[in-house]
Structure 1
Amino acid sequence: MTKKIDEEALAEAYNRALALEKEGRVDEAVAAYHEVLAIDPEDHGGAAVRIASMGRGETPMKAPDAYVETLFDQHAEVFDDVLVEQLGYCVPLLVRQKLTDLGLGPFARLLDLGCGTGLTGGALRDMAEDITGIDISENMVEIAHEKDLYETLYVAEIIDFLDDNDDEPFDLVTATDVLPYLGALEPLFFGVADNLNAGGLFVFSSETLPDDIMAGRGFMVGPHQRFAHALSYLAERLAETGFSLVDVSDITVRMEEGAPIPGHLVVARRNPD
């Protein structure tokens, strides 16, 4: 039975932690975020990620599911406007351009992981006969459904879906703006490989940080509470999970506080069994 959360105590601790973090009082902020975690172990507010973003504690393997679901449920109605118009996000269009430039497609079956409101589905709609979308946020999926872009939509955590799915394999899997919520990528990459035809394509975006900040780490939580990945880590994990690199591009993923966020657009092919 799930323990009832003391919402008042949670709000007080979380707001206090945010204020301390903003003031640069890191030790006190970390202590307050630990109070938040004690009240809400499922971590709807992403306290563990915020602690890691301040360089304290262990780097989580992924952002908490409760946090990601809450974050996107809350922002679903304004998501397209904020992401595209305010933050300059155009990764789905970059995916389309890259596939076109490489002469890849059309595709019979496309799986859009972290489909959100359907930005990638819309960008690739005429390149695939059948598109399936997956997102952890029910509110996001409802908006995607209203756009009538997908043959099938699921509300699910993507790793769970990939592990449990027994539908026909796909020949293209996309994951745009998914990796910033994942640290360790083996579960995702293995799951994608299991759901791709041999020779099928996996296209995804990632964020990164300068080498002196990454300091040899494969992944870390950056200052905006999103995971950054080293290109060497991406390449190693793809090779280990049965993929060959087709193309890697340096991209600007989005703007944040007026500054471009650098990242990579990766096209990989699943090796034959």
Structure 2
Amino acid sequence: MSEFDEEALAEVYNRGLELEKAGDLKAAAEAYCQALELDPEDHCGASIRLAAMGAVATPERMPDAYVATLFDQHADVFEAILVDQLEYCVPLLLREQLRTHAPGLYPAVLDLGCGTGLTGEALADISDTITGVDLSERIIEIAFDREVYEDLYVGEAVAFLEEFENEDGSRPTYDLIAATDVMPYLGRLEPAIAAAAARLNPDGVLGFSTETLPDDAMAGQPYIVGPKRRFAHAEGYVREVLAANGFAILAMDPITVRLEDGEPVPGHLVLARRA
């Protein structure tokens, strides 16, 4: 991790927030650019704010440092906020979707972006072993206490899919890969979907959620950083990437991912089988 002046970063970033709130987007963008100069790894997510404002091109993914910092900071209250305030229930929706479209026992499950373990808990009764991966070390500690995971790792989702090996050098494969609330932090889906396909056993299943926006907001783009500073994906883009990587779509259901500022956040819950 690169070293940076935390006080200077906080000052310039908070100035950007105040300017953005006041509607002075040009000055806010200048402040966020200064924040990136101070901290190129972007622990504050200045690049994502710039993209949401339309000041820079849409990045392919969120900075790892930003995602890890975001969830480390909110780990202790993460679940209470997500479930109680935002009415997040995607793990349970995925469990029901599997029951409908791909019932059965899944011997080996990988829970990408496992968070505090909500998805692992939802899938426990249809799994023999579940492996969890998350960028936030503090979140992983909380997931451990849930006692539903065989193994837990701190790591970035796509890098884990592409690189992880067992101690003997073998590459584990899975019957089900779940990625609830992961794609809104990734942006470009090709690397994740391709890597998931390579980790799935024959006829293995991939289940994941996305967020989306109306067609006029997407403006023909496959993915953009939305006003809530997460990636929104066009339905057609998701379908194209899955097909290009040999997946047959079992279900692609419109869902409300969560509430935000009292308003429903639309998205899709996708279930696809490796052909």
TM-score interval, smaller chain: over 0.9
The question of 1:152 aligning with 2:151 is answered yes
Aligned counterparts, 1:1-273, within 5 A: 3-166=2-165, 167-271=171-275
Deviation at 1:244? 1.2
Partners in 1 of 2:42 and 2:109 — Cα distance?
A: 32
Deviation at 1:3? 4.6
Structure 2 residue ranges without an equivalent (≥5):
166-170
Report the more deviating stretch, 155-164 or 252-261: 155-164
Deviation at 1:95? 0.4
Partners in 2 of 1:204 and 1:148 — Cα distance?
A: 23
Partners in 1 of 2:9 and 2:273 — Cα distance?
A: 45
Deviation at 1:103? 4.6
Alignment partner of 1:198: what SS? strand
**Structure 2 residue identity aligned to 1:205:** S
Partners in 2 of 1:27 and 1:105 — Cα distance?
A: 54
User: Alpha carbons of 1:110 and 1:56: their partners in 2 closer, same or farther (altered >3 Å)?
Assistant: same
Deviation at 1:196? 0.1
Deviation at 1:169? 1.0
Deviation at 1:4? 2.5
Q: Is the 8 A contact 2:2 2:41 kept in 1?
A: no
Report the more deviating stretch, 133-142 or 103-112: 103-112
Partners in 2 of 1:185 and 1:191 — Cα distance?
A: 10
Q: Cα deviation per residue 1:211-270 (whole Å; 9 max; x = unaligned)?
A: 010011100000010000000000001111121111110000000000000000000111
Partners in 2 of 1:266 and 1:7 — Cα distance?
A: 40
2:168 aligned partner: none
Partners in 1 of 2:52 and 2:145 — Cα distance?
A: 36
Q: What is the TM-score of this pair, normalised by structure 1? A: 0.97
Partners in 1 of 2:102 and 2:181 — Cα distance?
A: 23
Deviation at 1:102? 2.0
Q: What is the TM-score of this pair, normalised by structure 2? A: 0.96
Alignment partner of 1:147: what SS? coil
Partners in 2 of 1:29 and 1:103 — Cα distance?
A: 48
Partners in 1 of 2:249 and 2:145 — Cα distance?
A: 35
Partners in 2 of 1:16 and 1:135 — Cα distance?
A: 31
Deviation at 1:122? 0.5
**Structure 2 residue identity aligned to 1:251:** I
**Structure 1 residue identity aligned to 2:6:** E
| CA RMSD after TM alignment | 0.9
Q: Cα deviation per residue 1:38-89 (whole Å; 9 max; x = unaligned)?
A: 0000000000000111112111100000000000001111011000000000
Structure 1 residue ranges without an equivalent (≥5):
none
Partners in 1 of 2:172 and 2:33 — Cα distance?
A: 44
Give the ranges of 4+ consecutive aligned residues of structure 1 lying more than 6 Å apart after TM superposition.
Answer: none
